[in-house]
Amino acid sequence: MLAAGMMCCAAATAQSRGALRLNEVMVENTAEGIADEYGAHHGWIEIFNTNFAPIEISSIYLTNDSTNPTKYPVPLGDVNTRMPKRQHVIFFTDGEPNKGTFHTNFVLTPGADNWIGIYDADGRTLIDEIIVPAALTAGQSYARSEDGKGEWAVRTGGADDYITPSSANVINDTNQKIQDFAERDANGFGMTIMAMCIVFSALLVLCLCFYGIGKINSAMSRVNKARAHGHEAPQLKTIKEVGHDTGEEIAAIAMALEQHFNAHDAESTVLTINKVRRAYSPWSSKIYNMREVPSRK
């Protein structure tokens, strides 16, 4: 069980790291671009956590060499390597890993195709890869159209194709879904129709399902009762009435039997059922409220 548990944990960890995605890359940074904590402007690689749960990225590998998957291991022991849900982190490709966790030991090459890969902690499982085209010039980035998904495209830093290091590739200032409802369904009629249809469908399916289950159950019940009475399956149709044993019928049969056999002596026909009341409660019990009488032994 312990081994199975450990395997499950390992699988879960691997699965969660599998949610990491290369999200945006800048090969050659400029003075206008983002600076690292030392004020230097180096190329960078942005990674996005597509999960709705945090992911620990220490011990994964970043590389620009497909023959050397374990080129840059993300160091252990840094609290910042725990990526929050749906968040980004950037690594500066300055070839100076001694500057900190988020500085790789390799440099991307301007004017050439740059292959970049993320490998899991085993150094063999490729999580994500991308080839950044040689055509990318200084100050341009290569980014997905949306965080963690969509097509890759060159971004020049203009108003429509902005560069977004360490933030969402599409910047939304409103919730698009709510905006759509506000604009296209201002009176709520559409929502009402859709939602009521869904609620009715869900309960209608459940209703039909339990009609079916009820029918099957009563059929099975009839079969069992017939067998208990020693009838064969083909005779079932003729003994259909066996299934009708409602409370009223049972009560009527019981009364009829009682009258028929008249088993008792003459008694009044009034049946009184009294609730038995238990007046005792530990709260009113003397033994919980009074000390035991001291006795000399």
Partner 1 sequence: MDFGDFLLKNLRQFWELTGFANAEWGNIIMLAVGLFFIWLAIKKNFEPMLLVPIGFGILIGNVPFNTEAGLEIGIYEQGSVLNILYNGVSAGWYPPLIFLGIGAMTDFSALIANPKLMLIGAAAQFGIFGAYMVALAIGFAPDQAGAIAIIGGADGPTAIFLSSKLAPNLMGAIAVSAYSYMALVPVIQPPLMRLFTTKKERLIKMKPARAVSQNEKIIFPIVGMLLTCFVVPSGLPLLGMLFFGNLLRECGVTTRLAKTASNALTDIVTILLGMTVGASTQASQFLTPQTIFIFFLGFMAFVIASSSGVLFVKLFNLVLPKDKKINPLIGNAGVSAVPMSARISNNLGLEYDPSNYLLMHAMGPNVAGVIGSAVAAGVLLGFLA
Question: Site residues (CB under 8 A) for partner 1?
Answer: 175, 177-178, 181-182, 185-189, 191-192, 194-196, 198-211, 213-214, 217-218, 221, 245-248
Structure tokens at 9: 């944990």
Give the nearer residue to partner 1 in terms of CB position, either 199 or 239: 199
Torsion region of 279: left, alpha or beta (phi above 0 gives left; psi -120 to 50 gives alpha)? alpha
Least distance in angstroms from the C-beta of 185 to partner 1: 8
Least distance in angstroms from the C-beta of 249 to partner 1: 10
| Residue the block writes with tokens 């009839």 | 222
Least distance in angstroms from the C-beta of 214 to partner 1: 7
Give the nearer residue to partner 1 in terms of CB position, either 38 or 211: 211
Q: Which residues contact 224 (CB under 8 A, 6 or more apart)?
A: none
Give the nearer residue to partner 1 in terms of CB position, either 40 or 204: 204
Cα–Cα distance between 29 and 38 in angstroms, integer? 14
Least distance in angstroms from the C-beta of 184 to partner 1: 10
Give the nearer residue to partner 1 in terms of CB position, either 14 or 236: 236
Least distance in angstroms from the C-beta of 278 to partner 1: 20
Residue 20 pairs with which residues in a beta bridge? Answer: 49
* Cα-to-chain-centroid distance, residue 226: 48
| Residue the block writes with tokens 């009044």 | 268
Least distance in angstroms from the C-beta of 225 to partner 1: 12
Give the nearer residue to partner 1 in terms of CB position, either 31 or 178: 178
Give the nearer residue to partner 1 in terms of CB position, either 246 or 269: 246
Give the nearer residue to partner 1 in terms of CB position, either 156 or 218: 218
Structure tokens at 47: 């990674």
Least distance in angstroms from the C-beta of 194 to partner 1: 8
Torsion region of 296: left, alpha or beta (phi above 0 gives left; psi -120 to 50 gives alpha)? beta
Nearest 5°: CA angle at 44, between 39 and 48?
Answer: 120
Give the nearer residue to partner 1 in terms of CB position, either 153 or 196: 196
Q: Which residues contact 70 (CB under 8 A, 6 or more apart)?
A: 61, 63, 119, 123
Cα–Cα distance between 295 and 297 in angstroms, integer? 6
Contact in structure between 18 and 50 (CB atoms under 8 Å):
no
Least distance in angstroms from the C-beta of 256 to partner 1: 19
Structure tokens at 25: 């890359």
Contact in structure between 100 and 79 (CB atoms under 8 Å):
no
Element (H, E) at 132: strand 126-132
